Amino acid sequence: MKFPVTLPAKTPGKTAGKAPGKTLGTAPGRALGKTPGKAPVRSALVSAGRAALVPVLAGAVALGGLCAWTASGAAGRPPRVTVEEARVLLPLGRDDTAAFFRVRNEGNADDELVSVDAPTAGGAMLSRTVVRKGAGHMEMVQSAPLPSGGTLEMSPHGLDVMVWAPPRLKPGDRLPVVLRFREAGTVRVEAEVVRPGSR
């Protein structure tokens, strides 16, 4: 004996176990495993990283070039001043006297002697002997150039350091003198007291 089998009516447009218009495990409008908006963020981060890398690389290249330039000797050396043969003439009593030096610049940059001082005397200044109409007299000098690799030679007939009101001195004593250079800074020396004509 057969019984009639009645099947449940199908709803148009539906699939068993699935919501209409949906794919199992996937939200509408999304690709599997991707989050909307992350790709543009990643792209922006990459662009920012590249932009930041440009000045870093430029700085590294510039630094490398500077190091190579310095290593090759092209950067030169700053002024390096040495003072030799420091002498001061034995004064008659407390009369003014003169000091003389040989100054060398062993660097590759020019310098300039801008001032002098004798701390134990009344003072000191750069001066030069000038002869006019057969008569010589001293003139104050503001400064004296010291070219790179050059020598500044002082003498009784040219540039010297005039020292006034010196302390009581005798041959062989030492007179402290301070020389100031524009680039090399301060150089302190002791000038040996010598009799006039012995230099």
Which residues of the chain are modeled with pLDDT < 70? 1-76, 199
The one-letter amino acid code at 166 reads P
pTM of the complete model:
0.60
Pairing of strands 135-140, 151-153: unpaired
pLDDT, residue 93, reads 78
C-alpha–C-alpha distance, residues 166 and 178, integer Å: 14
pLDDT, residue 23, reads 46
Q: Sign of torsion, CA 114 139 83 76? A: positive
pLDDT, residue 135, reads 76
User: What confidence tens digit (pLDDT) does each residue in 26-60 have?
Assistant: 444 444 445 555 555 556 555 655 665 555 555 55
Q: Sign of torsion, CA 59 65 67 73? A: negative
Q: What residues have CB less than 8 Å from 104, skipping those under 6 apart? A: 81, 82, 83, 84, 150, 151, 152
